[in-house]
Structure 1
Amino acid sequence: MDLKLKGKAILITGASKGIGLALAKYLAAEGANISVCARNAEEVAAAVEAVKAFGVKAYGAAVDVKDAASLTAWVDNSAKVLGGVDGFVSNVSAGGSAADEAGWAANFETDVLSAWSTVQAVQPHLEKSTSPSIVNISSTAALEAFAGAVPFSTFKAAMLNYFGNLSNVLAPQGIRVNSVCPGPVFIKDGAWDQIKTNMPEVYESTVAAIPMGRMATAEEVCVHVALLLSPISSFTTGTNIVVDGGFTKRIQY
């Protein structure tokens, strides 16, 4: 299926590794031009080169997403290099921060405020696109009790509410807004790979709770993000797609 993403300009936060990097490559393989940001300059440079290998335009910058000015500069420079903005993927997260005051602050500033700041910066560019779309990368941890009363789950749930309401606010401008909630995703050297090594009992018990008997691959998440970014999903907005192999037990109405 042709997703009609060739030539589209898509920005992804936190895309130097993990799902973000996998998504950058996946979209580049579809012909999209990609801009990435992350904190580590060397990793950003490597991600840009990996994207360019697909024969598309690529741009990247080392950005602390807690710095709104740096985020805005990255967005504006991305638009200049790529010739506009058609899609934005809010992917960056502080991850499983400690459940102390510092951890709550880190997740709030990284997961919540940075997403809001980037939306403010990218909206004027998206309004010029013929097929603008925003996709929020959330987590099944936002949907059910998981790992205790921790900031990651709390703010992921909050952002589902934010982006869900944003879909109604931006619909008159033709900007679609959706979310994707991955369950556990196994990526080499990623969080679950580290858990498998250091806390094998946690890893095994988590896999045992997934009816399909394994964790997702990054590509199995990417395909849904790509579809939501695609112009062929032109009437889909305000939705949340759960990609978890049956890990969450609620009935999806």
Structure 2
Amino acid sequence: MLLDGRVVLVTGGSRGIGRAIVAGLAAEGAKVAFCARGAEGVQTAEAELRTGGAEVTGSAVDVADGDAVAGWVTASADRYGAVDAVVANVSALAIGPGEENWRSSFRIDLMHTVRLVEAALPHLERSDAASITAVSSVSGREIDFADGSYGVMKAALVHYVSGLAFDLAPKGIRANAVSPGNVYFPGGVWSGVEQGDPDLFAHAMGLNPTGRMGTPEETAYAVISLVSPRASRISGTNLVADGALSRGVQL
């Protein structure tokens, strides 16, 4: 993947998709700084990943706090001497009606990505293999049970990175999105739905033509492939990783 020695920043890296992204990048030889809101989860993830030989650093950061995000980016760049790529993975997972869900989705899903990119840009401009990747969702391209604030902000992420791809191309910085479908892991959203709303879980499972939901590692592979310098000609794309769940046609 040509990631050996590269420095990558990942938000929401202590569990689920984010944890798999951090582990996958580290397995390719990258140096990874990751953050998440819960200090205990960050410490546990960092210790477990380092036991496996990964060069990672975890930090407890509330990504709704713009100053905290900027400070984390600066500290990570100082620690590793560079930033080659950023992966915006955090989501508020604010599904359902109500203004608070709209505020949370805007502040966390969209604006944390914007702030991460703006803080990292001076460092990315010095890299010869710079990239930006945002984790969106198939809910951003189809109307499903997560329409409203969640789906709208996930769609906004795709639009945002598409604009970045065009604007930053002259500087050699790529920008892409990855849109996963249902991703199942213990303690995750779908694990909770399975216990709390078995009818919804059965309905969602039935929509998957593969007969199963995806794993964090499968989504992580899509992200890592776009972060890789081997994807040097791929910018402005939305890579759907959903096992043929969604039925929209990308033209």
CA distance in 1, matches of 2:41, 2:201: 27
CA contact (8 A) 2:94 2:102 kept: no
2:223 equivalent in structure 1: 225
CA RMSD of aligned residues (A): 1.2
1:17 equivalent in structure 2: 15
CA contact (8 A) 1:59 1:81 kept: no
CA distance in 2, matches of 1:103, 1:250: 26
1:166 equivalent in structure 2: 164
Deviation at 1:203, TM superposition (A): 1.0
2:125 equivalent in structure 1: 127
CA contact (8 A) 2:3 2:28 kept: yes
Deviation at 1:173, TM superposition (A): 0.8
1:111 equivalent in structure 2: 109
Deviation at 1:18, TM superposition (A): 1.3
The list of structure 1 runs, each at least 4 consecutive aligned residues, that deviate by more than 4 angstroms after superposition, is: none
* Amino acid aligned to 1:178: N
Deviation at 1:97, TM superposition (A): 4.0
CA contact (8 A) 2:8 2:85 kept: yes
CA distance in 1, matches of 2:100, 2:113: 19
* Amino acid aligned to 1:153: G
* Change over 3 Å in CA distance of 1:57–1:98 after alignment to 2: same
1:73 equivalent in structure 2: 71
Measured against aligned partners, the alpha-carbon deviations of 1:46-66 in whole angstroms (never above 9, x if no partner) come to 222233234242222111111
Identity of aligned residues (%): 38
CA contact (8 A) 1:140 1:242 kept: yes
1:194 equivalent in structure 2: 192
1:53 equivalent in structure 2: 51
Deviation at 1:148, TM superposition (A): 5.3
* Change over 3 Å in CA distance of 1:251–1:97 after alignment to 2: closer
Deviation at 1:136, TM superposition (A): 0.7
**Gaps spanning 5+ residues in structure 1: where?**
none
Q: Structure 2 length normalisation: TM-score? A: 0.96
1:88 equivalent in structure 2: 86
Query: Counterparts of 1:147-166 in structure 2 under 5 Å?
Result: 147=145, 149-166=147-164
1:203 equivalent in structure 2: 201
Deviation at 1:210, TM superposition (A): 1.2
CA distance in 1, matches of 2:250, 2:113: 26
Deviation at 1:83, TM superposition (A): 2.1
**Gaps spanning 5+ residues in structure 2: where?**
none
CA distance in 2, matches of 1:114, 1:229: 19
The answer to whether structure 1 residue 43 and structure 2 residue 41 are counterparts is yes
Deviation at 1:159, TM superposition (A): 1.1
* Amino acid aligned to 1:214: R
CA distance in 2, matches of 1:137, 1:146: 18
* Amino acid aligned to 1:126: L
CA contact (8 A) 2:182 2:190 kept: yes
CA distance in 2, matches of 1:233, 1:54: 27
CA contact (8 A) 1:58 1:82 kept: no
